[in-house]
Structure 1
């Protein structure tokens, strides 16, 4: 890919993030992790150890960010399960990297695609209700 195209794509993502609501930011993070894992599979096939390491490291960093963004005070069971899933995905990518396993990378991609699919289906009204609830809780904590 030429430098110009890469620069254009980078600016596009930065512009998208600049105006994104929290829901969209999570979507972009998930997409970034999926893209890096897809690239890693290609690097593993070509036995490009450097490329594999770089892309899997990026995917793991994104997964860690997703995990740390979970509000553990909301929906206890869902939050705990999602936190555990992200931990599993991170550990599974470590094993995939060590074993040069395309299959293990694909397993993580399949899990993240399932999560992303559910995330993408959250209705706008539910998102806005969650933003309002979070803002209210933040104000109450700030006042106390």
Structure 2
């Protein structure tokens, strides 16, 4: 995925969120749902707040999730996926088959969430969907074959997506706010 395409997708998501807030008078992203009639479709890599959401362990985490932008939520998903892949790798190494299976399934859930939130009517979205599908299949292969190399291959792709997305957020914040906003 090219940096320019990711940046364009992120800017579209942020514009949709801002337009939604203006039209509803809301001043948080908490109720913004990409893909709703008022937002004009799901943006590439955006996350639907509230989708598969469980209460956070503490109120500060819950507040952080509720007020995060869709770009930040996508970054959290990438980070969570990497975390679960790393835990699965450790469980695989320790021969803890049930734990390995559970961690890989959680990573697969994250990839599926990223897949369903894509707008695939563009070339970039369709390409990202294909890559997500490939990652998902590699996670299945790693689980079934107990293959750490295949798991690492999936991890490397997720890390590439995460790092690209992180740079897009950082660049967007620099352009919008003139600072070096950390992602």
Q: What is the TM-score with the length of structure 2 in the denominator? A: 0.60
Cα distance change, pair 103–83 in 1 and its aligned pair in 2 (3 A): same
Give, in whole Å, the separation in 2 of the partners of 1:126 and 1:23: 14
User: 2:64 maps to which residue?
Assistant: 16
Gaps spanning 5+ residues in structure 1: where? Answer: 1-8, 129-144
Aligned length: 118
Q: Which moved more, 1:14-23 or 1:60-69?
A: 14-23
User: Which residue of the other structure, out of 125, 128, 146, is the alignment partner of 1:82?
Assistant: 128
Cα displacement string for residues 73-96 of structure 1 (whole angstroms, at most 9, x for unaligned residues): 3xx111111000000011111010
Cα distance change, pair 127–15 in 1 and its aligned pair in 2 (3 A): farther
User: Which residue of the other structure, out of 96, 108, 122, is the alignment partner of 1:48?
Assistant: 96
Give, in whole Å, the separation in 1 of the partners of 2:173 and 2:136: 32
Question: Which segments of structure 1 move beyond 6 Å, counting only runs of 4 or more?
Answer: none
Give, in whole Å, the separation in 2 of the partners of 1:63 and 1:13: 22
Cα distance change, pair 24–59 in 1 and its aligned pair in 2 (3 A): same
User: 1:100 maps to which residue?
Assistant: 146
- Give 1:19 deviation, angstroms: 0.8
CA RMSD of aligned residues (A): 1.9
Q: Which has the higher helix share?
A: 1
Gaps spanning 5+ residues in structure 2: where? Answer: 1-55, 177-183
